[in-house]
Amino acid sequence: MVAPRVYEALSQPLVGHLDPYFFELSEQVRSLLGHVYSTKNEFNIAVSGTGSSGMEAAVANFAEPGVKFALLTNGFFGDRIGEMARRQGAGVARLAKNWGEPFDPQEAREFIRRERPRVVAFVQAETSTGMFNDARPISEAAHEVDALVIADCVTSLGGMPVRVDENGIDIAYSCTQKGLSCPPGLSPMTVSPRALERLRARKSTVQSWYLDLLLLEGYYFGHKYHHTASATMLYALREGLALIAEEGVENGWERHRRNHLAFVSGIEAMGLRMHVAEGHRLWTLNTPCVPEGVDDARVRQYLLQERGMEIAGGFGPLAGKVFRIGLMGHGSTAENVLMVLEALESALKQQGYKPAGDSRAAAEKSLGATV
């Protein structure tokens, strides 16, 4: 959901992509991104394009042809990183788990130490499964073998602790339309000095001209023309980041955690179970399993047509097996938790499912007060 203040920011008059005010905005965004990513990195930019452009920028700049690229994947977007690296000509070594199964920290360390790659990539917040992957053991092992660490933070930034510096992440990217409460269209990135040094020493030319980070550095920091970036989207992003700063980034994490736990309490009271084990779940995207005998497509159709509410289904090996329900950014509220639970329960009853208990009461108890 887009925050009202972000909608207002989108209505501001346009300025050009080389206007001094545009670069004032980009500097504000650079600083605010450092705050939300919990990093002292100076290289913080918003790449023109959706979150997938950030993924491609991260891979294209650091996955050189012939270089070993270690991938830890347990979902769709982890696999996508690997496909991008393959297309760059990197030698991809994979540690793969079932979708929604966590990595054993020791197994992850041993994999990286054995492969001794130049780059290690993983998805911190796997959107396809509702899975949160711990960065610390991956980054520690990667730095032992002098590898750079790429982390996909598309569904964690703004809603969960990313902690780039503390976790030893070298390159992180996200999107604007999830935890930052903006429309899609930009991919916020942060790059460490260590990664920039490696990039400057690269022997081969980055294959993507549009996503070449050193060219983008010349644009955003040197004010040299590169492409026609959208001032409108920058207005939106600046406002979304300002909202997070005003709330307090840690307060925002706690809000997401509290509402996630209330949602899970309601789901479990209903008699449903979560796909991802406790302790490994995203607070921003919930994946309850579809009950036996229930058609998930009919549930989603009912919610859309009767309640004006859109939730996503599973895909790949999880097609028809889970619902994917986002409660993130401006949309992560106690009111929305209760509204979604009530609507989902109604949709399930339409197919003959009998809830085991009172989902609203369970959620309210978790929240600690009646809403």
Q: CA-to-CA distance for 165 and 126, rounded, in angstroms?
A: 20
pTM of the predicted protein model: 0.96
Q: Among 199, 224, 247, where does a domain finish?
A: 247
Instruction: Note down the domain range covering 261.
Output: 249-367
Q: Which of 219, 247, 275 is the last residue of a domain?
A: 247
Q: Which run of H or of E encompasses 78?
A: helix 76-87
What pLDDT sits at residue 369? 58
Residues 227 and 338 in one domain: no
pLDDT attached to residue 371: 45
> What's the CA angle centered on 285, arms 281 and 290, to 5 degrees?
85
Predicted confidence at residue 130, as pLDDT, reads 98
Secondary structure (DSSP) of 15-64: --TT-HHHHHHHHHHHHHHHHHHT---SEEEEEES-HHHHHHHHHHHH--
- The candidate with the shortest Cα–Cα distance to 166, out of 40, 279, 254, is 40
Residue pLDDT tens, the chain, 371 long: 999 999 999 999 999 999 999 999 999 999 999 999 999 999 999 999 999 999 999 999 999 999 999 999 999 999 999 999 999 999 999 999 999 999 999 999 999 999 999 999 999 999 999 999 999 999 999 999 999 999 999 999 999 999 999 999 999 999 999 999 999 999 999 999 999 999 999 999 999 999 999 999 999 999 999 999 999 999 999 999 999 999 999 999 999 999 999 999 999 999 999 999 999 999 999 999 999 999 999 999 999 999 999 999 999 999 999 999 999 999 999 999 999 999 999 999 999 999 999 999 999 999 985 44
* Of the residues 247, 280, 299, the one at which a domain ends: 247
Number of domains in the chain: 2
Give the per-residue pLDDT at 370. Answer: 42
CATH number at residue 14: 3.40.640.10
Q: What is the pLDDT of residue 139?
A: 98
In sequence order, the 6+-apart residues with CB closer than 8 A to the CB of 87 are none
Helices (H) and strands (E) in the chain, counts: 14, 12
Q: For residue 344, what is the domain's CATH number? A: 3.90.1150.10
The CA R_g of the chain, rounded to the nearest whole Å, is 21
Q: Any alpha helices (H) in 308-358, and if so which ranges?
A: 334-350
* Phi, psi of 101, rounded to the nearest 5 degrees: -95, 130
